[in-house]
Amino acid sequence: MYVHQREILSLPASQLKTETAEQDVKTPINMKGSTHKPQRKPKKNGSNQVFSYQLGPREGNTRIVGKDSVSTNMSASLSMIFSHSEATNNTPSRTGKVSSSDGIVGSSIQGKRGDCFYLAEINAIRNTQGGQVILNNNIHKNRDGSVTVTLPGAIKIRQEYAAKGMKCEVTGTYHITAEAIAKAEKLAGKSFSKNDMDTICLEIALENYRAEMIRTNQINGNKETTGNFTAEGAVSQISSHDLLYGGQTYDAGFILTGKKSDVYYNGKKYDNVQRYTDGQYGYITKEEMLKQTTFANAGMHAKGVSEINNLGKEEKDLYNMLNKYQGHESEFAITCSVRVKKKGADGVTPQDAGHAITVVKITADTVYVSNPWHPDKIEPIPRKEFIQMAYGMSAMQVTKQQTTNSNIHNSMNTLHLVLGKLNSNQHGVKPPSKINPNKLNSLLNGINNASHSNRRNVNINSLIQIINRATTSQLSNDDKIRLNRLLSSISTENTKGDINVEDFNYFYEKFMK
């Protein structure tokens, strides 16, 4: 949900230090005044909900997230943020289905909180060729059942405060204990999204980051930070009793990746947009979308904005963005903001409120979108009506044409992770224990050298997306035979050197956006 607009300032990128994860955890930071925990007067939000929450201890530049740092929905009279009393561990009577953490960020349905902006951006990043790798690198599952989440943009924010000589409680690394994971699993579908625990871990990390921003503002004397820092520096705009409620997708993208976005935001248009009705144009499958589409190439910008490259405010800027990113959806995480005509399926978004959705594909006459309320459904909106609906749009480059050795290594690790998940979930599919890189390159080169009108730039991340989607799909016996044959062709055990382009094409048409 989009709730505010502000001016924001950053330091030049040249002044930001680069850190390894190990260095980041061990770096000391000024903690003077950080133990002060004043209570904040509850402030109404669109959901009228209050969540019990307490910011956990800090070890170096890592925040320890225990069960009390996992929000629980409760009465406004019982708790406020940073309360000294022990947070309740009551769980709701109705919980949602959720998978255990496997280090692979999957599809998750928005729960009863207004964090559509965050989930829409996560889905947009996942839709790109390299996005799955980036998100997976942010999450590390530990042997003791805990999960460590790193938010690259939050680390940059902390560096900016340090360079300014100001106190800062932002860590950027969040160690979520096994007890906290167990509590969050029971709260799936209520306090958090449902279906995927790794997405829930990203939600937990965000609310801890936002609590850190509020604390940072407090220890700096509650000075107005609007216009001073990026990525939600205007902490007074963040609801003090629901840390996931409301935000901007370009902020979410920056926090998740540290990358900038191109943004279109027309505040004047907000009052006059055509209202969006979920499902008004029906839903289609990914396969049906591919058959319909063809590729074609195609002020708030204040004082050195860190998470914004370019900003447009005029109607023509929205037209230009659609044309610019048409045909490049595999490289950019694209989202848009609309106003809903009816109350949201999340049970939180009120009628006529702002809502964030993910742009999956753009054509000359249609914009295909997915909604955090049901992220695996695709809705085709006529382009002219999309223009009338959207008052905001952001696009963040996730995948670049050049692939570094580090990216290849990370992609191979992710490929082995999804193969392990496929082996566990699909009876009758036996993926190889080891992939031959040379055979994999031969397969990808063979695919890219063939003539295909409906795709471009197929790489290892395309294969990762196909396997990830096959893991949770209903596969026929023929599908399983094809998949075993495809994976066998890139196995180290295959001595024939066959290139299985036909089966890859079959699954590309079946699963890829």
C-alpha–C-alpha distance, residues 158 and 154, integer Å: 6
Mean of pLDDT values over 41-56: 64
CA angle 246–252–258, rounded 5-degree value = 155
Alpha-carbon torsion (154, 156, 159, 163), positive or negative:
negative
Q: Average pLDDT for residues 350-369, to the nearest whole number? A: 93
Percent of residues, the chain, with pLDDT higher than 70: 72
- pLDDT value of position 34: 32
Q: What pLDDT, in 10s, does the model give residues 152-167?
A: 999 988 888 888 888 8
The answer to whether 107 touches 376, Cβ cutoff 8 Å, is yes
Q: With 90 as the cut, is the pLDDT of residue 45 above it?
A: no
- Please choose, from the candidates 108, 133, 119, the residue with its C-alpha nearest in 3D space to the C-alpha of residue 188: 108
Residues 422, 467: contact at Cβ < 8 Å? yes
Whether 106 has a pLDDT exceeding 60, the answer reads: yes
Q: What's the pLDDT tens digit per position in 54-98?
A: 899 999 999 999 999 998 876 433 333 333 222 333 333 334 556
Token pair belonging to 20: 């390894």
**In this structure, what token pair is assigned to residue 173?**
């690394």
Per-residue pLDDT at 218: 81
Alpha-carbon distance 127 to 379, whole Å? Answer: 15
- Given a cut of 50, is residue 403 above it in pLDDT? no
Q: Give, in order, the Cα–Cα distances in Å from 118 to each of 95, 173, 192, 436, 465.
A: 21, 18, 12, 37, 21
In whole angstroms, give the CA distance from residue 74 to residue 287.
Answer: 43
* More reliable by pLDDT, 203 or 404: 203
Distance, CA of 416 to CA of 142 (rounded, Å): 17
Give the single-character DSSP code of 503: H
Burial readout 29-67 (b: 16 or more C-beta within 10 A, e: otherwise) = beeeebeeeeeeebeebbbebbbbbbbbebeebbbbbbb
The helix-helix angle for 501-511 and 477-489 (nearest 10°) equals: 130
Strands (E), 43-180: 50-52, 58-59, 62-65, 72-74, 98-99, 139-141, 147-150, 173-176
**Could you tell me the pLDDT band of residue 490, with boundaries at 50, 70 and 90?**
confident
At 92, the amino acid letter reads: P
Q: What separation, in Å, do the N-terminal and C-terminal C-alpha atoms of the chain show?
A: 25
Residues 426-460 pLDDT 10s: 888 888 878 887 788 778 777 776 655 455 567 78
Residue 237 near residue 3 (C-beta atoms within 8 A): yes
Q: What is the mean pLDDT of the chain?
A: 76
190: DSSP letter? T
The pLDDT of residue 411: 74
